[in-house]
Amino acid sequence: MTLPTSSEFTRDRLTWLAYLMLAYYAYVPGIFGPVMPFLRSELNLSYTLGGLHLTFFSAGMILTGLFGSTLAHRWGRGPVLWGGAVGIALGGYFLAFARQVSMTLSSALLMGLCGSLIQFAVQAILSDRHAERRAVALTEANIGASLSNALAPLLVAFFTRIGLGWRSVLYLVGGLLAMLSFFFHDVAIPSQVRGDSHHAESPVSSKKKDALPLSYWGYWFSILLFVAIEWCLWVWGAEFLIARFEMSKVVASTVMGIFLSIGVLGRVIGSRLSRRFAASSLLLAALGLCLLGFPFFWLSPWAALSITGLCLAGLGVANLFPFAMTLAVGSAPRQSDLASARIALAVGLAGISAPLSLGWMADQFGIQNAYIVIALFLLAALFLTLTLRQAAPSTH
C-alpha cells in the first residue's frame, strides 16, 4: 500500500534533538562488546560474569518498560530525556573508574535504565511530532543509532591503538552530552498528546481508556521476537561462523562488522521506502528478506553462501524493529508514552532471555543445532505479522 504524498515531512530542531539523543544512547551498547575483553582481563572475570553485564543492562531496560511512562507523566518528557542522558554519562564514568565487578554491573544497570529512558522518550516525541509520518522519523532516527552503534567498536580500537586506552570511549560520553546540551538546551519538549476530556469519567471507564489496545500487544510481542532474532544473530553470529567453518576470530569479527554495516544500509533503504509505502507492507518485506537469507546462513555448507545469506538477512533484520515499533505506537496514538515505555520492556526481556537461551542450547546440542531457535522465532513472527495485517487491513 502506498502513502499519500500531501503530508510533507520536515525536520525541526526537536526532531534533530531526538535523532541525536537516540544516537547518543546507541553509542553505549556498542561499547560493551569491544571493552569486555579489556574489562575481563583487568578484573579477572569469567565469561559468565562478563556476560552478566548485558543481563544487567537489559534489566535496566525492563525497569524503564515498567516505570518509564509514570516518570514521563510526573516529570515531563524533557526531564526524562535529559535526565536519561546525564545518567548515561554517569554510568560511563562509573564503569571507567570501577575496580570491582559489583561496580561494573551497577554501571551496566544504570546505563540500561537511563538509555532506555532516552529511547522511550525519543519514540514518543517523534511519534507525536510527525503523526502519520512517524515511520519516516523513527526509521531515520534508527539510521543514526545504527551508525553510532557501529562507530563505538572502531573508536575502542582507535583509542587503544594510539595509546589513549579503552576508557577513552567512556570519557567521550560526557563530552558528547556537553555538546548536545550546548546546542539544544533551549528546545522545548512537548508533553504527551492527550484526547479530549470534556466529560467526567468514572474510574472504571478511565481505566479502560488507559488500557492499550489488543493490536498494540500483538505488535509488542512481534517486537520481542524481532529483537530476539537480531540479538541472537549479533551476539552468537561470530561463534557460529567459527564453529561451522573454522574461521579465525578476526575474520569472523570482520564478517559481523559487515553485518552491522549492511544493517545501516538496510535502514537507509527502509527510510526512503517509508515515504511511499505503509509500515506494515515494509515490515512484511523486511521479514521476507530475513526468511530468505537466514536458511542460507544457517544451513549452507559453503562459507561464501552462508555469509551472503547473513548479509541478505541483515538487510531485513535492521528494519524489523523500527517498523514494528512504528505500528505499535501508531496503534495507540493517544498513549505514546505508555506504548513507548512498554516497548522498552519487550526489548529488555528479549535481551535477557534470547541470547542466554541460545547459548545454553549451544552448550547442550551444538551451536548450529541451537540456531533452530531463530528459525522458530522467524516463523512465529511471520504468523503474527500476517495475522495482524488481516485483523486490521484498513489501518495498513
How is the chain split into domains, by residue range? 11-134+150-186, 212-396
Confidence of residue 384 (pLDDT cuts 50, 70, 90): very high
Question: Could you read off the pLDDT of 143-164 as tens digits, one per residue?
Answer: 888 888 878 777 887 888 888 8
Residue-level pLDDT at 192: 62
Q: Which of 200-204, 291-295, 365-369 has the least mean pLDDT?
A: 200-204
* Burial readout 197-221 (b: 16 or more C-beta within 10 A, e: otherwise): eeeeeeeeeeeeeeeeeebbbbbbb
Count of CB atoms within 10 A of residue 57's CB?
26
Q: Which of 96, 391, 390, 336 is nearest to 212 (CA)?
A: 336
Residue 301: count of CB within 10 angstroms of its CB: 8
87-110 mean pLDDT? 91
> Which class is 11-134+150-186 in CATH?
mainly alpha
Query: CB–CB of 180/20 below 8 Å?
Result: yes
Per-residue model confidence as pLDDT tens digits over 225-261: 999 998 888 778 877 888 899 888 767 777 877 887 8
List of residues 6+ apart from 43 with CB closer than 8 A: 99, 100, 101, 104
Does 201 have pLDDT greater than 70?
no
Residue 368 to residues 232, 254, 304, 344, Cα–Cα distance (Å): 12, 20, 17, 30
* Half-sphere exposure of residue 99: CA atoms within 13 angstroms, side-chain side: 0
Rounded distance, CA 358 to CA 371, Å?
Answer: 7
Same topology between domain 11-134+150-186 and domain 212-396: yes
Q: What is the pLDDT of residue 5?
A: 47
Are residues 300 and 306 in contact, defined by beta-carbon separation less than 8 angstroms? yes
Predicted confidence band of residue 48 (pLDDT cuts 50, 70, 90): low
Confidence of residue 116 (pLDDT cuts 50, 70, 90): confident
Report which listed range, 40-54, 328-342, 378-392, is most confident: 378-392
Mean predicted confidence (pLDDT) in 61-68: 83
Task: Inform me whether the pLDDT recorded for 282 exceeds 60.
Answer: yes
Q: Which CATH class is domain 212-396?
A: mainly alpha
Q: What is the largest CA-CA distance in the chain?
A: 68
Distance of CA 16 to the CA centre of its chain: 19
Q: Is the pLDDT of residue 4 over 70?
A: no
HEC readout, the chain: CECCCCCCCCCCHHHHHHHHHHHHHHHHHHHHHHHHHHHHHHHCCCHHHHHHHHHHHHHHHHHHHHHHHHHHHHHCHHHHHHHHHHHHHHHHHHHHHCCCHHHHHHHHHHHHHHHHHHHHHHHHHHHHHHHHHHHHHHHHHHHHHHHHHHHHHHHHHHHHHCCCCCCHHHHHHHHHHHHHHHHHCCCCCCCCCCCCCCCCCCHHHHHHHHCCCHHHHHHHHHHHHHHHHHHHHHHHHHHHHHHHHCCCHHHHHHHHHHHHHHHHHHHHHHHHHCCCECHHHHHHHHHHHHHHHHHHHHHCCCHHHHHHHHHHHHHHHHHHHHHHHHHHHHCCHHHHHHHHHHHHHHHHHHHHHHHHHHHHHHHHHCHHHHCHHHHHHHHHHHHHHHHHHHHCHHHC
Instruction: Output the CA torsion sign for 153, 151, 104, 361.
Output: negative
Question: pLDDT tens digits, residue range 343-355?
Answer: 888 988 988 888 7
> How many percent of the chain have pLDDT more than 70?
91
